[in-house]
């Protein structure tokens, strides 16, 4: 049964999602919903219509003929296409709904069995350039970054990714040479999976820290449960980056699984003997791995995360909200 056909609760803008984000399964459903590639088919005008419908609901002026299902579908479109902090339209290729389809050709390049340094550098350059754009487009918007800082961070991310990929590749070849003999197909597949995984994870975390370095040094804006701006917290910013780094390591696991799966697929004679059929099979495996594997990784932590005030700076410890109640927890956009 598709997520769109699941029974929908009464529409609410106060709820962070139509799914229960306090549970891992609820967050998995939420991210499958918001990263649905079909949302990329909607034009800018349709997205703006969905945004206007959300504004109408917020101000109590929505047309009574609009159904509960239509409201949730409009919100799904807004959640997938608009930045949660600014409400601005994210460029389609840099939305997480485009992450899976965009990574099919990228993953195919990263997993291609070659020791050619120029090919490896080109693949890592394309991968990290795309990751920089995705990280920047989905950053916490309360952290500003100058153009010069952004370019410096981009250069560091791309350079580190290429260095890690070449370094891990050289180490794996040295280990294979020391082992001697002819490695089994499974060992070759494992090498094809592990080397890109280590390089992509290491570079991805460097990429994240470079592009979102102001969140580490200056912090992110934290809010009360009611949405009151309480100021910036460096502790919350670093917590967000730590969790996003863990997510990067998790979502790279399905991206690097295809070589292991293909070592089993290659046992099918008709596929093994037909290069075109094998290429198609590998693309299908890559697409399925990325498409089905990334949302569960994103769901490891809520996007709108929170921390108890006792875990962050002391200046937040004795605050009260607009109703006069003590604030015991702060909320912030962790980013993706």
**Is residue 306 situated within a structural domain?**
yes
pLDDT of residue 92: 94
Nearest CA-CA partner of 140 in 316, 304, 330: 304
Please, what sign has the CA dihedral across residues 157, 37, 252, 144? positive
Whether 221 and 323 share a structural domain: yes
Shared domain for 107 and 75, answered yes or no, is no
**295 inside domain:** yes
For residues 184 and 254, state if they share a domain.
yes
Q: 1 pLDDT exceeds 50?
A: no
User: Is 241 exposed, middle or buried, given 0-12, 13-18 or 19+ CB atoms closer than 10 A?
Assistant: buried
Q: Residue 53: what pLDDT?
A: 93
pLDDT at 251: 78
Alpha-carbon distance of 336 to 97, in angstroms, equals: 12
Q: Which residues constitute the domain of residue 166?
A: 92-333
Whether residues 57 and 194 share a domain: the answer is no
How far apart, in whole angstroms, are the C-alpha atoms of residue 239 and residue 237?
A: 5
Are 29 and 169 part of one and the same domain?
Answer: no
Number of domain units in the chain: 2
- Is 87 inside a domain boundary? no
Domain boundary among 52, 81, 110: 81
How sure is the predictor about 143, in pLDDT bands with cuts at 50, 70 and 90? low
49 and 156, same domain (yes or no): no
Q: Please check whether residue 173 lies inside any domain of the structure.
A: yes
Whether residues 122 and 239 fall in one domain: yes
Claim to verify: residue 61 and residue 125 sit in the same structural domain: no
Q: Is there a domain that residue 301 lies in?
A: yes
Same-domain pairing of 8 and 117:
no
Shared-domain flag, residues 182 and 161: yes
pTM over 0.85: no
Instruction: Assess whether 106 and 191 both reside in one domain.
Output: yes
Mean pLDDT of the chain: 82
Same domain, 147 and 17: no
The structure tokens listed for 8 are: 């929908």
Coil, strand or helix at 305: strand
Residue 144 in domain: yes
Q: Is residue 64 part of a domain?
A: yes
Answer yes or no: is 86 within a domain: no
Confidence of residue 182 (pLDDT cuts 50, 70, 90): low
Domain boundary among 61, 81, 101: 81
- Model pLDDT, residue 93: 94
Q: Among the three residues 81, 107, 130, which one is the final residue of a domain in this structure?
A: 81
% of the chain beyond a pLDDT of 90: 18
């Amino acid at each position: 049964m598709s997520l769109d056909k699941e029974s929908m609760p009464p529409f609410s803008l106060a709820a962070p999602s139509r799914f229960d984000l306090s549970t891992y399964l609820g967050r998995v459903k939420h991210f499958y919903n918001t990263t649905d590639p079909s949302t990329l088919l909607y034009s800018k005008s349709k997205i703006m219509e969905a945004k206007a419908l959300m504004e109408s609901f917020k101000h109590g002026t929505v047309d009574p003929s609009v159904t509960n299902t239509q409201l949730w579908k409009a919100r799904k479109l807004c959640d997938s296409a608009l930045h949660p902090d600014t409400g601005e339209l994210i460029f389609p290729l840099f939305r997480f709904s485009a992450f899976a389809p965009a990574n099919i050709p990228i993953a195919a390049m990263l997993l291609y069995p070659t020791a050619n340094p120029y090919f490896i550098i080109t693949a890592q350059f394309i991968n990290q350039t795309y990751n920089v754009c995705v990280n920047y487009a989905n950053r916490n918007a309360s952290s500003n970054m100058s153009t010069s800082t952004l370019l410096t961070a981009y250069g560091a991310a791309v350079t580190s990714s290429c260095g890690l990929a070449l370094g891990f590749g050289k180490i794996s070849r040295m280990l294979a040479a020391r082992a001697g003999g002819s490695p089994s197909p499974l060992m070759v597949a494992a090498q094809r999976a592990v080397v890109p995984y280590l390089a992509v994870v290491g570079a991805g975390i460097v990429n994240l820290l470079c592009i979102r370095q102001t969140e580490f040094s200056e912090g992110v804006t934290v809010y009360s449960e009611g949405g009151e701006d309480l100021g910036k917290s460096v502790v919350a910013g670093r917590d967000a980056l730590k969790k996003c780094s863990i997510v990067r390591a998790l979502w790279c696991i399905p991206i690097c699984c295809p070589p292991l799966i293909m070592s089993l697929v290659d046992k099918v004679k008709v596929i093994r003997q037909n290069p075109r059929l094998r290429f198609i099979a590998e693309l299908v495996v890559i697409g399925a791995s990325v498409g089905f594997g990334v949302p569960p990784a994103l769901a490891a932590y809520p996007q709108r995360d929170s921390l108890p005030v006792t875990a962050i700076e002391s200046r937040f410890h004795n605050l009260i909200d607009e109703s006069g109640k003590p604030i015991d927890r702060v909320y912030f956009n962790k980013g993706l």
